[in-house]
Chain A
Amino acid sequence: MANSTTLDIRQITGRWVLEGAGHVGRLSFFILDMIRGLSEVRIWWPRMMIEAWNIGAGSLFIVLLISAFAGAVTALQTGYQFTGSIPYYVVGTLVVSSIILELGPVLTALILAGRIGARYAAELGTMRVTEQIDALESLGRSPASHLVIPRVLAGLIMIPALTILANLSGIASGWVSVKAVLPVTDADFIYGAQYYWRPWDAWYSVIKAFFFAGSITIISCYMGFNTQQGAEGVGKSTTTAVVTSSVLILVLDTVLTRLLLNQ
């Protein structure tokens, strides 16, 4: 009995290791194909513009809405914790820093992992199981240039742009909300926001958004591209894409914070 349990654990571990190695190998070739396809600008440029518009216009409302609520809640909780011993201008610092350093990029990325990641994985997965990707290859065309590069580049451009807008929306909403619960003037809020402000914080926010964009788009396209077994496979790829890119966003958040804010 003990032997068979040991064997099972070995088999499961072995299978995981092999599957993991398989994914690493396939993902490497997938990225290599993307790099090679970059030379076909005439193919991916127009498609990238369409994808960028789809991401930007389609996600703007939900991103602004959620970041506005995040800003408002941050401000209200700050107001709740204020005892009067801390100068009021600090609330400006807290709201701006929380939004720019963490909530803006991470919340935006998690929303878009669900919205764009699921869409990319489902679109490419459906194309795979209905042989549309095979058809593209059979016509001597590169699926990377036609399908993957436009989606990845559009995400790399639009997700940081949406993050900047989410930051502004969160700060504006926090500013309005904090005035409703604390006797903070506009001058106090602006003073606090500027007092601890470092331009690097804005860069940090955009750099994080850029890495998150890479993880959402590349993982989702990769999962969709390697879909197997019909409708069930498309569902599985979509779920795996969203879960994997969400976890990767949180891991990257920690790693990038350690690397970029380590002073």
Chain B
Amino acid sequence: MIELRGVVKRFGKQTVLNGVDFEVREGETVALLGPSGTGKSVLLKHIIGLIHPDQGTIIVDGKDVNRLKRKALSEFRSHIGYVFQNGALFDSMNVLENVRLGIIDQDKFNDDAYVRDRVAECIRLVNLPPDTVDKYPAQLSGGMRKRVGIARAIAGSPKYLLYDEPTSGLDPVNADIIDGLVQRLDHELGVTSVMVTHDVRGAFRVADRLALLSEGKIVMQGTPKEFLESKNAKVREFLERDFDNPSFAA
């Protein structure tokens, strides 16, 4: 379970998160919605301890992330797969070596036979052709890089998956493929997921629950049905752009 309580984060004079309370229950997929630049990615990075809050607490599986020492933090992160917005693949390594880095157990990491099998399995899970393993990130399309990023995140069999804008910058067809992949992985791997996105359509398709971040606070958390029925002005304002879009119903 992931719990954020009263999280405040400032960068200089700008307050990005202003008392965020946010909760993700075991086994569910939560989509964190909000316009660009509202601090969704900043919030996600707090969960894994890449950014520390100025105030508030982040509790994951009963552990206060900010109080974890170096070794404990490293161990804690090994249970979380993080999918970066642009893949964040190591461009000097091929796909095999990139995905290999996701294998946390050092003995397995050094076992070439295990690595080949595990990487092939992860590549298959994200619907990429087997020969992708020999390619370098520069030889892959944006959608393929995102999928390799997901393969790396699941290589260590994490308990939690955090997706940072997995469909941003993709055409609708590729965005649908990624959304379907997220949904399938959540069911096949049984992980708890948080997906940061400003793609309302994808969020409604994938998530069990939604949360809307606006002006540094979580404005509403609830099921897709509760969101659709909400009278909250900010929720309505955010959703209406997509309600007017005929593709929303698809």
Chain B residues with CB under 8 A of A138? 48, 50, 77, 80, 82, 84
A20 to B198, CA, bound (A): 39
Q: Given the complex of chains A and B, what is the CA–CA distance between A42 and B77 in angstroms? A: 20
The reply to whether A139 and B88 contact each other, CB–CB distance below 8 Å, is no
Q: A131-B86, A134-B50 are in contact. Are A139 and B156 (CB under 8 A)?
A: yes
The answer on a CB contact under 8 Å between B104 and A139 is yes
Q: Please determine whether A135 and B77 come into contact, CB atoms closer than 8 angstroms.
A: no
Which A residues lie within 8 Å of B45 (CB)? 134
Interfacial chain A residues near B156, Cβ < 8 Å: 139
Q: What A residues does B76 contact at CB under 8 A? A: 140
Are A140 and B75 touching (Cβ within 8 A)?
yes
Which A residues are in CB contact (< 8 Å) with B74?
A: 140-142
Residue total for A at the interface (Cβ-Cβ under 8 A) = 15
CB of A10 within 8 A of chain B? no
Cβ–Cβ contact B70 & A36, under 8 A: yes
Q: Is A132 positioned at the interface, with any CB of B under 8 Å from its CB? A: yes
Whether A141 contacts B101 in the complex (CB less than 8 A), given A134-B45, A134-B50, comes out as yes
Docked CA distance A90–B63 (Å): 73
Q: Mark A109-138, 1 if CB is under 8 A from B, else 0.
A: 000000000000000000100111011111
Which chain B residue shows the least CB distance to A123? B92
Give the complex CA separation of A245 and B164 in angstroms. 37
Whole-angstrom CA separation of A136 from B90 in the bound complex: 9
CB distance from A14 to the nearest CB of B (A): 16
Determine the distance from Cα of A140 to Cα of B160 in the docked complex, in whole angstroms.
14
Taking a contact as CB atoms under 8 Å apart, the answer to whether A140 and B106 are in contact is no
Q: Does B192 contact A (CB under 8 A)?
A: no
Known: A131-B85, A132-B90. Is A137-B77 also a contact (CB below 8 A)?
yes
- With A36-B70, A134-B45, A134-B50 known as contacts, the answer to whether A139 contacts B84 (CB < 8 A) is no
Nearest A residue (CB) for B82: A138
CB-nearest residue of chain A to B50:
A134
In the docked arrangement, what's the CA distance between A141 and B76, Å?
A: 11
A131 with B104, Cβ < 8 A, contacts A138-B80, A140-B74, A140-B77 known: no
Contact B82 A135 (CB under 8 A): yes
Contact B70 A135 (CB under 8 A): no
Min CB gap A51→B, angstroms: 12
**Which listed residue (A130, A131, A139) contacts B77, Cβ 8 A?**
A139
Q: Please, which residues of chain B bring their CB within 8 A of the CB of A131?
A: 84-86, 88
CB proximity to A under 8 Å, residues B63-122: 70, 74-78, 80, 82, 84-86, 88-91, 101-102, 104, 106, 110
Determine the chain B residues whose CB is within 8 A of the CB of A139 once the complex forms. Answer: 77-78, 82, 101-102, 104, 152, 156
- The answer to whether A136 and B77 touch (CB under 8 A), given A130-B86, A130-B88, A131-B84, is no
Complex: A49 Cα to B48 Cα, angstroms: 32
Q: How far is the CB of B147 from chain A (nearest CB, A)?
A: 15
Best-buried of A130, A138, A140 by chain B (most CB within 10 Å): A138
B91 proximity list for chain A (CB < 8 A):
130, 132
8 Å CB interface, A21-56 against B: 36, 42
Q: Are B82 and A140 in contact (CB under 8 A)?
A: no
Complex contact A136–B101 (CB within 8 A): yes
CB pair B88–A140 under 8 Å, yes or no, is no
Min CB distance A76 to B, Å, is 44
Bound together, the chains give a CA A130 to CA B88 distance in angstroms of 6
The CA-CA distance from A187 to B104 in the complex, in Å, is 64
Considering only CB atoms, which chain A residue lies closest to B77 in the complex?
A: A140
Contacts of B82 in A (CB 8 A): 135, 138-139
Contacting B78 at CB < 8 Å: which of A36, A132, A136, A140?
Answer: A140
| Residues from 185 to 234 in B contacting A, C-beta threshold 8 Å | none
8 A Cβ contacts from A149-165 to B? none
Report the minimum CB–CB distance from A19 to chain B (whole Å): 13
Chain B 23-46: CB-based contact to A (< 8 A → 1; otherwise 0): 000000000000000000000010
Closest chain B residue to A40 by CB distance? B106
Residues in A lying within 8 Å of B, measured CB to CB: 36, 42, 127, 130-132, 134-142
Going nearest first, the 8 A-B pairs with the smallest beta carbon separation are A135-B88, A138-B82, A140-B77, A140-B78, A131-B88, A140-B74, A131-B84, A132-B88
9 more CB-based (< 8 A) A-B contacts, given A138-B50, A138-B84, A139-B102: A36-B70, A131-B85, A131-B86, A134-B45, A134-B88, A137-B50, A139-B78, A139-B101, A139-B104
